[in-house]
Amino acid sequence: MKYFAYGSNMSLPMLRDKEVIVSDVQGNSFEAVTYYATNTAPSLLPYSWYLFHVIYGAKETGVPSDYLEALEATKSQEDPDKERDARERAIYS
């Protein structure tokens, strides 16, 4: 298991990875790696560029409309690192 620190307080691990088994609609199983937050305090908000990634992927994969609406209603914060924000959004250009 790995720990990742990301955000304003790099000394605290914010994400961990975990190996999981996922299934597609045909019932095929696949090994995958997922990342999950170690601190889920309601006061923490994702950076807007990260939420953009999530919403983009949700639209691309055709998630149910109610789930997409919930994602789009998620509050986010601007990343103080403007270069990182630009770099993250640039992958869609």
- The 10s digit of each residue's pLDDT in 37-82 is 888 888 888 899 999 999 999 999 999 999 999 999 999 999 999 9
pTM of model > 0.85: no
Edge-first strand listing for the sheet containing 15-23: 3-4, 15-23, 29-37
What does the alpha-carbon distance between residue 74 and residue 67 come to, in Å, rounded to a whole number?
A: 11
